[in-house]
Amino acid sequence: MEHICHSGNSIYMPASRRHQTSSDLPKVAVVSPLNSIPLDACPMPCLQSEISSRPANYYSSAKVCSSLPLSTSQVESKSADTQLSEMCGIRVPSVFSAARNALYTRYTPRNWFDSYNRLLQANDLAQKNSECFVYDSKRLEEELADLGKANQENSTRKLGDRICDIAFWQSELDVEIGKMKQEIDDLNRARRIVEKFLAETENYLHITQECLYAREKRQGTDLVHDDVEVKLLKEVDTVRTVQNGLQTLINDARVQEGLNRAALHELEYDKANKFMALQIDESAHSMHNGSAFVSLYDGVECIDQTQSVPETWNKHVSDIIKRSQSERTASRKLRERIVAELAHAGKTLSDMWEAVNAALSQRIRELTDARNQIQASLGKTLQSIADTEKEIEDLKVAIKEKEEYLKTASSRLNERLKRPGMENCRDPAMNQLICEVKLIKESIEELKNQLLRSETVLQELLYLRTAKEGELVCKQNSLFIDREKCLALRTQWPGGPMSGAANAILCPNHPISSFGLCSYK
């Protein structure tokens, strides 16, 4: 229903505001109707007569009773049906169109009174609904404020719990990182000791080979495959076997060091992530509504970049720590193996070293005894040679003396052959002279035979002397090689500065941990 009212020269139309395109008032939000409102929730509406003033301009124009007819348009002032010029044949100005239209838009007082009452009732209902809406809005604001505060406190508590969890695992990671670093240092120290011990075995092997090369310079019958040479060859095999075992330990230690460093990298990487997450969560935990850097990020709740849940998150860090502990256990077992292998290798090499030294000492004693015996025998031989030479000289003198006797006897016989006639008698003197000559010749022959035998004996003695002197030279050479070259090289452990560590491994009373081999954590 349209009410066209005029006052004096002004015309106004309080029609429904649904047809207005612009207004100076703010837009009214669309509110769903309240189906059931408790009686005690809203105040009782007041009578219109008790209200001194009411905002009828806005609310009354916004409420239109649907039971009354509405006119959706105003009669156009320029319409042909409303022009006075059609009736009187003259052109009337448009200012009179309002007066003419008023003749056809009149209502009864009853209609006016009903419309006025309906407007007041609609205003009262709208005011009551507005008061209920304000009450419900305040109650909803309080409930939502309490709920928001509770949610924020719950979120803060959850963030605090998360910070505690991160701090706990971060402390566990710190402890494990410290243990892993210590284990890496211990294993590295053990590997370097094995490498130094391996270098010592090179000196050991060099000494053994030098002994073998030196003993190749023995002469004559002394170039024998004796017990010393057997033990030296066995020592070479033992050293090479030990070197292979030590090299295997070094390779295993390097592989384990790589695994330890990989586990340490995982620990440090996870610790760095947890440190960053801890800073972020602490920053989020310290935020409140009055924080300067708080802003609205619309739609951020729809972004899901999570990669784990608390169960998988705990399992992930637990698996990292377990892997690190497993690698530390393997590294500790490897260090125990290194200690055992070094102790066994050191004992094996020491036993072999002592066995070769004992064989060398025994061989040196044998050579010394043989040399002394040869020297004593050579002295006797030289004495025999001297005696034989003197005997030969005596035999020669005796032969010369016998020859003088022979000359005298033969001269006597020759002289008596000059006797004349019957005087040349074979008297006893003649027989004696003949017998004397024969005896002297036999004596000379025996002396010459004895001289020949003496010269033969002398030649044998001279040959024996030469042989003994040559053997003595060989024994002296062998003794020099075994004692001055071989045993002199083997008087001390070929480890140099590292020999203390090797001896410490061999000594059961020496604390191996002082060399960093058993510092278990």
The model's pLDDT over 9-38, given as tens digits with 9 standing for 90+, comes to: 444 344 444 444 444 444 444 444 444 444
Q: Residues 335, 189: contact at Cβ < 8 Å?
A: no
Residue 481 confidence (pLDDT): 93
pLDDT interval class at 103 (50, 70, 90): low
CA-CA distance, 377 to 384, in Å (whole number)?
10
CA-CA distance, 234 to 352, in Å (whole number)?
8
200-204, 257-261, 450-454 — most confident range: 257-261
**Residue 419 pLDDT greater than 50, yes or no:** yes
**9 domain residue, yes or no:** yes
The model's pLDDT over 474-517, given as tens digits with 9 standing for 90+, comes to: 999 999 999 998 988 888 877 644 444 444 443 433 333 333 34
CA-based R_g, the chain, Å = 69
**137 domain residue, yes or no:** yes
CA-CA distance, 465 to 377, in Å (whole number)?
9
Buried b (16+ CB within 10 A) or exposed e, 312-324: ebeeebeebbebb
Helices 310-416/499-506 angle, 10° precision: 100
For residue 461, what are its two tokens? 């003695």
454 — phi, psi (to 5°)? -65, -40
Distance of alpha carbon 488 from its chain centroid, rounded?
A: 44
**423 domain residue, yes or no:** no
The percent of residues above 90 in pLDDT, for the chain, comes to: 46
First-to-last CA distance in the chain?
97
Query: Any alpha helices (H) in 216-300, and if so which ranges?
Result: 227-286
Count CB neighbours of 133 within 10 A.
15
Residue 28 confidence (pLDDT): 44
The model's pLDDT over 341-368, given as tens digits with 9 standing for 90+, comes to: 999 998 999 899 999 999 999 999 999 9
**259 domain residue, yes or no:** no
CA-CA distance, 304 to 475, in Å (whole number)?
94
The model's pLDDT over 157-210, given as tens digits with 9 standing for 90+, comes to: 999 999 999 999 999 999 999 999 999 999 999 999 999 999 989 988 999 999
CA-CA distance, 97 to 83, in Å (whole number)?
7
Q: Residues 55, 100: contact at Cβ < 8 Å?
A: no
Q: Residues 190, 335: contact at Cβ < 8 Å?
A: yes
More confident residue, 89 or 521: 89
DSSP state of 219: -
Count how many Cα atoms sit within 13 Å of the Cα of residue 139 in the half-sphere of its side chain: 8
**135 domain residue, yes or no:** yes
60 — phi, psi (to 5°)? -70, -35
Least confident residue range of 68-82, 88-102, 482-496: 68-82
Residues whose CB is less than 8 angstroms from the CB of residue 341 and which lie 6 or more positions away in sequence, other chains included: 245, 246, 249
CA-CA distance, 120 to 60, in Å (whole number)?
8
Q: Residues 222, 477: contact at Cβ < 8 Å?
A: yes
Q: Residues 317, 173: contact at Cβ < 8 Å?
A: yes
CA-CA distance, 268 to 176, in Å (whole number)?
10
Q: How far is CA 237 from CA 247, 344, 395, 506, in A?
A: 15, 16, 65, 20
Query: Of all helices (H) and strands (E), which one includes residue 468?
Result: helix 428-479
Three-state DSSP at 310 gives helix
Three-state DSSP at 168 gives helix
Q: Residues 496, 200: contact at Cβ < 8 Å?
A: yes
Residues whose CB is less than 8 angstroms from the CB of residue 237 and which lie 6 or more positions away in sequence, other chains included: none
Q: 5: which strand partners?
A: 12
Provide the residue range defining the domain that includes 50.
5-20+39-142
Residue 222 confidence (pLDDT): 86
Average pLDDT over the chain, rounded to an integer:
79
Residue 33 confidence (pLDDT): 46
388 — phi, psi (to 5°)? -65, -45
Residues whose CB is less than 8 angstroms from the CB of residue 41 and which lie 6 or more positions away in sequence, other chains included: 132, 135, 136
> Helix, strand, coil proportions of the chain in percent (round to 5)?
75, 0, 25
Nearest residue to 166 via CA among 321, 273, 304, 307: 273
Residue 67 confidence (pLDDT): 52
**92 domain residue, yes or no:** yes
CA-CA distance, 204 to 89, in Å (whole number)?
145
- What number is the average pLDDT over the span 366-392? 91
511 — phi, psi (to 5°)? -70, 110
**59 domain residue, yes or no:** yes
Number of structural domains (the chain) is: 1
**50 domain residue, yes or no:** yes
**Which residue carries 């006025």 as its tokens?**
116
Least confident residue range of 82-96, 148-162, 228-242, 416-430: 82-96
Nearest residue to 505 via CA among 193, 235, 206: 193
